[in-house]
């Protein structure tokens, strides 16, 4: 079977080419979690302050002018106790200029009038923190929460690139049939769920002499074993570029099977 594709996918199905089932859902989960964390923990985060306190620092002495409980508390270790986060406002002087700022800590109480060691940015002395204190009530490590939306965006970008590749193949495609030539278990979960790499063999000529291979990763092999041979679409000018029809989003594969076979 060698059928050149002359039809076009509807726009809605073209968009679905970027949908990769579980990988896309995981990407969206990371993105949504990232947005939630952003609005709850990073909405008022001063990234300029964070960056200015990462290097090029100098030290001076400051004086505590105000100390109070922030209302924030953290559990220490595994039920070892509660750490209550206090705020400490302070004043310091750099090159005859007066500055005021605030730092946070739950482990080292200070009183008004106590002297403290201040670390400040040499090029922007208004940005500072008390040595061994935090610039935020919940600690500077909160910036690590940015990894969630970053990972989500990267995963979605990978899915988008994959979708564009599928679109190019389908737009210049020939439908044929292929067969699983190898099945390899990549990973087994504690619940004994297996993830596989399925390698398919297909031919780009009517006499079945020019063979090619393509592979997919899946945790569900049933859709790829329900027939003796699976439908494959390969690029007519680059026959090594191919996709397995049942690896596409279900509405796309169903539409092609119904209208293009």
For the stretch 15-40, pLDDT in tens is: 888 887 777 888 888 888 877 776 76
CB–CB of 150/82 below 8 Å? no
- Within 10 A of 132 (CB to CB), how many other CB atoms are there? 12
d(CA 242, CA 173): 9
CATH ID of 46-135, from 2.60.40, 2.40.50, 3.20.20, 2.30.30: 2.40.50
- Name the pLDDT band for 165 (thresholds 50, 70, 90): very high
Cα atoms in the Cβ-side hemisphere of radius 13 Å centred on 33: 14
pLDDT tens string 41-82 = 666 566 667 677 788 899 999 999 999 988 877 776 666 678
d(CA 176, CA 205): 9
**Mean pLDDT, residues 208-212:** 88
pTM higher than 0.75: no
Token readout for 154 is: 């990267």
Return the domain boundaries, the chain. Answer: 3-24+148-259, 46-135
- Name the pLDDT band for 140 (thresholds 50, 70, 90): low
CB–CB of 119/57 below 8 Å? yes
Token readout for 156 is: 């979605």
- Name the pLDDT band for 170 (thresholds 50, 70, 90): very high
């Amino acid at each position: 079977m060698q059928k050149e594709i002359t039809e076009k996918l509807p726009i809605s199905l073209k968009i679905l080419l970027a949908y990769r089932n579980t990988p896309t859902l995981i990407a969206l989960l990371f993105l949504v979690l990232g947005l939630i964390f952003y609005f709850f923990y990073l909405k008022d985060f001063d990234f300029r302050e964070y960056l200015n306190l990462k290097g090029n620092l100098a030290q001076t002495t400051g004086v505590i002018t105000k100390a109070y409980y922030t209302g924030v508390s953290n559990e220490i270790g595994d039920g070892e106790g509660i750490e209550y986060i206090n705020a400490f406002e302070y004043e310091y002087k750099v090159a005859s200029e007066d500055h005021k700022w605030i730092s946070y800590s739950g482990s080292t109480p200070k009183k008004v009038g106590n002297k403290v060691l201040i670390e400040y940015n040499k090029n922007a002395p208004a940005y500072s923190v008390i040595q061994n204190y935090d610039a935020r009530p919940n600690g500077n490590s909160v910036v690590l929460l940015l990894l969630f939306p970053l990972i989500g965006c990267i995963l979605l970008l990978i899915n988008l690139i994959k979708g564009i590749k599928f679109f190019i193949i389908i737009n210049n495609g020939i439908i044929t049939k292929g067969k699983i030539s190898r099945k390899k278990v990549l990973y087994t979960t504690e619940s004994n769920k297996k993830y596989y790499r399925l390698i398919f063999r297909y031919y780009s000529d009517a006499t079945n002499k020019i063979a090619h291979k393509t592979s997919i990763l899946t945790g569900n092999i049933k859709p790829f074993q329900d027939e003796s041979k699976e439908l494959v679409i390969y690029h007519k000018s680059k026959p090594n570029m191919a996709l397995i029809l049942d690896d596409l989003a279900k509405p796309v594969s169903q539409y092609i099977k119904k209208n293009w076979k």
